[in-house]
Amino acid sequence: MKKEPAVRVTATGGIEPERIPAHVAENLAQTALRGILRAYNDPAIRADYERWMAQREGVRA
């Protein structure tokens, strides 16, 4: 008998996050955070981010 997957993907391609076990969600979050921090520490990406933030603040004013 085939075992049901822990996280089911729907026909539209969505994921049911409530079915993701906590330890898997935490592992995904930690992995994503490491990548985000590595990118944010890249001077070129950081400069793009700072420009984007300045533009965004200009739109709010």
Helix/strand/coil for 20:
coil
Amino acid at 25: A
Give a yes or no: residue 9 inside a domain.
no
Tell whether the model's pLDDT for residue 3 goes beyond 80.
no
Q: Which range of residues forms the domain containing residue 40?
A: 21-60
Domain count, the chain: 1
Give a yes or no: residue 44 inside a domain.
yes
Give a yes or no: residue 11 inside a domain.
no
**pTM greater than the 0.85 cutoff:** no
Give a yes or no: residue 14 inside a domain.
no
CB atoms within 10 A of CB 7: 13
Q: Tokens representing 8?
A: 């089911």
Closest CA to 49 of 59, 39, 60, 34: 39
26: pLDDT confidence band, cut at 50, 70 and 90? very high
Task: Note the pLDDT tens digit of each residue in 30-59.
Answer: 999 999 999 989 999 999 999 999 999 888
Tell whether the model's pLDDT for residue 8 goes beyond 80.
no
* φ, ψ of residue 9 in degrees (nearest 5): -100, 130
